[in-house]
Amino acid sequence: MSISIEAIDRRIKEIDEELEKVAAIQEEREELVAAKKVMMRYSGDVAHQHKAGGDSAHTPDIGDTGVINLDDLVPPAKVVKSKDTLYSNIENLIIERFGDQEFTVNHVAAALNATGKGSEAKHFKNRISLEVKKLAVNGVIDRTEKGSGNIPHKYRKAKAEPEQEKIKPFALGLAKNTAEGS
């Protein structure tokens, strides 16, 4: 059985043309599905939209009475995203961007502004300072130098510790206060 290179090239060209046709058909199908969803949304046919593959995985059967059985309802799966707080922004910044470098509150403020998560609020650096202190108390960062006057505190990302040995400092303070009160 002898196949020439020209015959192989012709077959490859035919397959490529077929693939282009399939891609065009897929694109047309996606456009039609999108148009159908828009039309159903404007017509108010929400139940049909769900059955046709809308956002909900399960549409409850209303029945003749018009009452929905609450046991049949399945809540939609939601991706739980943690709230974007100043504390979490600073923690992520320190863990992901600062490495093992020493830094001050001024460095954190400048980095937050550079990433677009800063603020021009009047006392924003004071808030950053409070959050950095919380990170130090929680063991995420260590204070390497104590500042005084115009000399700021310096911090560094904490070394990783085994979870078993890690005790949060505020828990120790609570235990001391309880023992003293007894």
- Give 86-135 pLDDT, tens digit per residue: 998 999 888 888 888 999 999 999 999 888 888 888 899 999 999 999 99
Residue bearing tokens 């310096």? 154
What six digits make up the tokens of 24?
């065009």
Residue 58 near residue 74, CB atoms below 8 Å: yes
- Give 2-18 pLDDT, tens digit per residue: 788 999 999 999 999 99
The amino acid that residue 49 corresponds to is: Q
Residues 6+ apart with CB under 8 A from 139: 158, 161, 166, 168, 169
What CATH number matches the domain at 86-181, 3.40.50.11540, 3.40.50.620, 1.10.10.10, 3.40.190.10? 1.10.10.10
Strands 141-145 and 154-157: antiparallel
Partners of 156 in the β-ladder: 142
pLDDT-based confidence at residue 79 (cuts at 50, 70, 90): low
- Give 151-172 pLDDT, tens digit per residue: 999 999 988 764 544 455 555 5
